[in-house]
Amino acid sequence: MEDDMTTEFVAVRHGETDENLHSILQGQCDTHLNKLGIRQAECVAERLKHEHFDLIYSSDLQRAMRTAELIAEPHKLPVFPLRALREWNLGALQGGKWEDLRVKFPAVMQAFREERVALQVPDGESRADFYQRVADCLDEMSERFEGKRILLVSHGGALKAMFRHVVGQVAESSRLPLTSNASVSQFRYVDGFWQLVSWNDVYHLRSLGENESIVF
């Protein structure tokens, strides 16, 4: 840490679920890690076991909480569940297969890959509201825990929202950043500014292979 005014964040995406594997949109459905997902979480835990954390927060959905609990074990720290770290509420799309939803909601599904802030998910959360929820969470933590190092365990879509808040809007000519299962990303808040340190690091998964899932 550069100085006492810096708040550091390490953000981890949960391990794989069967829904990830079969391209089913989860959103805020409370799904669970599969066998590979548990192994991935164990690899993250091994990767981070010698790093210092003051606090560990996780989305309260089980796939994130289980990942966080495995990482927290060597640190002897509690995992605090936080609804603000939940995945995007995908409303009518939740539980649907990607290929089926592309036929039923083609414009919405294409927009998932791009930076369309005005996107409104049927019966769900607008992208603007989703981004604001995650941004407010990060801003509140950066001030409340100034000088601390915080582990966040969340979801693919939520991590993309964090990236946008830290770095800025992705160009219309570019696609959104990768967020692999059990990836590790780092950013910090210092002197009133956000700074990206690293993104989507999956080196710790090299023995397992890694799968970038577009599925939220």
Catalytically active residues are: 14, 87
CA dihedral 149, 12, 173, 131 (to 10 degrees): -70
How far is Cα 182 from Cα 92, in angstroms, rounded to an integer? 27
From the list 113, 199, 192, the residue with the least C-alpha distance to 163 is: 199
How is the beta sheet containing 193-201 ordered, strand by strand? 80-81, 55-58, 149-154, 7-13, 184-190, 193-201
